[in-house]
Structure 1
């Protein structure tokens, strides 16, 4: 038996398998299973076996040749199934030495029964966890660079607010654009630009209210969703955003931001967020036209 990640890197390997291939489990961890196969079997694995697993999630009775202890070839039949285990997506492999066909068939029948029983037990105990993990994986709500929420998370937050907030509820949205960000990248490289974005994101998150959502909208643009904040309250938060920017240093000099502020009362409709974003984005352009490093309130 062997467990690999979806790309075929070895995660677990049992003693019976080590008898065939030699070495220790510690030695093989992290190695590609390609290293266990003969050249012909390696080509078959890459062109047929793994594509089948990624598409159908399982492969049954596949004939391969392993490199045995001392370099001899060991014929094996392979069953494999993609599974989500506690640490993530994996492939579980069962290898049967095929020198004796009758013995192999008996082992295969037994292994199938054991695998089915294991699958049923895993399904019963992990169904809810698997569902939640699958949903989180599909939605991918975080920006990989800054760790802030992303556009999808913003959309879901707004939808939930529209569903649950009262008709009299107010909300504000801040669009925040880092000034002269291209100069930082051009003069000092993208790693420095990334560092500025990460540090600014940390400052924004640290200064946000518990009810606020701070998201990276794209590039050097950030969005703050501010429920129950009218224009006056949002203006105070915008001032804190400017202070957050002043705490960030770059090799190109002080960091400033242009902020566009848009306010609204509760509304339904799928285009509610799009209209708020458009208003705040237009306000950002006016802030830049006024010399940057300021906040403009949308009409």
Structure 2
């Protein structure tokens, strides 16, 4: 929490000023930080690698640091061309917002949010039953939050996905006399479940679609991890991603595929060499004709 104020001044958190109803969705930064740092208990099947991936994804969401295509275009413009669109819907540019607004994933994303709300509701009912208190008011308050549905202008749902959690989550439990730390642990565990579902049902399928396209474009892991070429102006450097996907059966010979696609789609370098060879043949033919005339 020490550097939270400095962190929130970064441009990646400018969405906070766009919350349409800040009185309803007031972010509790103590809860948010507790959730980010929360380490859930796992069984033996959950390896350290799984835990690390989960932890990394949680912070990537919070910091808007996922390697979306728009992000990759900025970091590797030599591989990902500007006009490249989402590999799932192939219709819109893929930025962070598009991850859950994409028409190929929107239903699944809404289902994940509904599950999030159901988990919270279940815990409120359990707390109310244990305290022998009426919990209908708390459930109505929770269900009325604007973060449970998506739209391009609903920044509260965007905030929830980022992991910026509202104080209302705490209030509905504490009104039932549940200790604050206990409530924070419950909410953090439910949010971790949301992160797990986001990875499994949104991020992994999206990455699979992108991976298929990269395979067709011969963008290998080695190529992605290689340094970006230096000293080449954009106008003369041909990104691998400008090659259209092959319509024929993909060969294992990546060099052959690249050449075939270049010939089929008439890329600049192939047009240039074709023109040069054509002019050369004309010159040679004229030379032979003159030689024949001399004899």
Bin of the TM-score, shorter chain as denominator length = under 0.3
Give the TM-score taking structure 1 as reference length. Answer: 0.24
- Which of the pair is proportionally richer in strand? 1
Greater relative contact order structure (CA < 8 Å, 6+ sep):
2
